[in-house]
Amino acid sequence: MGVTSLTQEFACPVPPARMFKALILDSHNLIPKLMPQAIKSVDMIQGDGGAGSIKQINFAEGSHFKYVKHRIDALDKENFVCKYSLIEGDVLMGKLESIAYEVKFETAADGGCVCKMTSEYHSVGDGEIKEEEIKAGKERAMGMYKAIEAYLLENPDAYA
């Protein structure tokens, strides 16, 4: 099994606590409302949202994919860190066993935050994932981050 790692970092004008609450703790409610064209629903399959919980994200009609399942591996609410794994779904394309993520929100000097995300793509056997497939996933994730950022900027009392 091979592992391909990717690290990305971007600045956000929203404070880390608000981004963490919206994107990590309440994503199952917020994302389907903000992105109904992409996400039909998010169902809690197991647990209460903490470590060990499993969420199923169901994609909207017309999407390239039907669903994915995420397992929360670690959740640090005080330091705004979440580790989770994509463990099932057609997005793995038969090439990947899983994708492990670590997302961390750090306070920035301007009052916003810096989001640091590390992704580890664990391939099946000697299989490799293509750079364009990683790029496409990265672009989808950034679209979700930007939608939540825009919502929080338009609604300054949300998740405050």
Domain ranges of the chain: 2-154
| Residue 3 confidence (pLDDT) above 80 | yes
For 91-124, the pLDDT digits (tens) are 888 889 999 999 999 999 999 999 999 999 999 8
Reported as a pLDDT band with limits 50, 70 and 90, residue 1 is low
For 15-64, the pLDDT digits (tens) are 999 999 999 999 999 999 999 999 999 999 999 999 999 999 999 999 88
Residue among 61, 105, 59, 55 at smallest CA distance from 82: 105
pLDDT at 135: 81
State the fold for domain 2-154: Alpha-D-Glucose-1,6-Bisphosphate; Chain A, domain 4 (3.30.530)
Q: Are strands 67-76 and 81-89 parallel, antiparallel or unpaired?
A: antiparallel
- The answer to whether the CB of 80 falls within 8 A of the CB of 106 is yes
| Residue 131 confidence (pLDDT) above 90 | no
Spatial separation of the C-alpha atoms in residues 100 and 47, rounded to whole Å: 19
| Residue 127 confidence (pLDDT) above 90 | no
